[in-house]
Structure 1
C-alpha cells in the first residue's frame, strides 16, 4: 500500500513539472506553406514574322518548365530562362512580371530569335576541302547566326590557313538576309596567297635505301593535295 502512494506521488510530481514547463514556454505550431500559385495561361511570343516562328515557338515551349495547370515556382522560371539562353536560338529574352489573380499566374515570354542560315557559299578554298572550312566556322545550314561572331569565324579560318603553310591569307565573311524568308546567306571569300615551299629535304645519318620511305612519312611531304605541285611547309 505504501509503495502505491509513493508511485502516485512521484507521478503527480512529474506531471506538475511538465505542466509548469509548458506554461512557462509558449508552444509554437508551424503552419504549412500555402500552396504555390497555379499557372493559368502561358503565352510565348516569337518576335519574328519568318516561316521559322512556329518551329521556334514549339522548341521554346519544350524548354520552358512551367506548364498550364501546374504550380508556379521561381526556380522553374529561372531554369527556363537559362535553358533558352543556352539554346543559342534567341538574341533577346524577356519575361513580363508574373501577374497573380486569385492564386492564378499569367506568364508571358517574349523571344526575339536569331536568323537561321539558309546557305553557305565558300569561294577560293581550293585545294582546301569545304568541310575543313565549315569545321573552322563551326556553322551549318539551319544553325542560328549571330553577326557578332563574324570576326571570330574569319580569324579561325586564317589560323587554319596559316597552319597549312600559307603566309598571309585574307578571309572575308559576308552575311546577307533574305527579306522574303528572313534567313541568312553566308559567303566566305578566301584569298590564300603564296605559301611556304619545300625545295629540298636532306637527310643525314640515315641508312641508305630508306630515304624515300622516310620522306613519305613526313607531314610536309603529304601536305600538298596537287600531285604536280610542290609540298607546302606546314
Structure 2
C-alpha cells in the first residue's frame, strides 16, 4: 500500500511575484513525478491566517518590502506571520523584498516598516541602485545545489546582507544608528547562520556582497529565482532541502 502525505507550500500573496513561485514549484513536481510520487503537493496563495496555518512552508516573494509590511498590518496578517516564523517545524524562504521582511534589522527602511526577525541578519534596501540598474548574472551555486554552476539569478532593486548578527535579542549597535529598523519579534533563531553565496569583486570594487543565507529552516536570497526562465533548480532544492527534510 502506497502512503501519500499531503504537503502544503504557500506563497504570501499580499503583493509581489507570488504567482511565479507557485508556478515554478508546480513545474518541479511535473518534471520529477517519480521522485515525489509519495507526496500530494498543494501550492497555494496565502492571504489569511487560516490559509497560513495550513502551510508546511511559506515563500515570501519579491515585490515592495514596505508595501508587504503595510498590507500585512492592514489585513491583520502581521501577527500570524510573526507566530509562523517562531514555529521551528515550518520552513520559510524570503526572496528580495521577502528577504528584507524576514530579516532582523534593516538599513534605509521606511518609518514604521515592520520586520519578521526570522534571519539574524541586517539588510540594506536597494543596494544595487534603481530599477534601471537591475541585472541578471549566472552564478555558481554548486557548493549547496548539486551541479548548479550556472544559475541565472535576477537582481531587481535587490537588497544585500551587510551584517551577520549574533541573534541576541539584546544586541546593541555600536552607534545605535537611528536609521536602522529592528524587528520587534522576540523570536531568537538559534540555528547556525550560513552564508551560501557572495558576489565577490562586484563591479571591480573588491566588494563581498552577501546575497544568499540559510539559518536552520529559514532561507533568504537577494535575487529572484522565480524569474530564471525555465530554470527550476532553486525551487527544487527548496522542496528537497527545506520542505521534505522537515
TM-score class, shorter-chain normalisation, is under 0.3
Of structures 1 and 2, the one with the larger relative CO (CA 8 A, separation 6+) is 2
Between Structure 1 and Structure 2, which shows a larger proportion of strand residues?
A: 2
**TM-score, normalization: structure 1?**
0.17
Q: Considering fraction of residues, name the structure with more helix.
A: 1
- Normalization by structure 2: what TM-score? 0.17
Structure (1 or 2) with the larger CA radius of gyration:
1
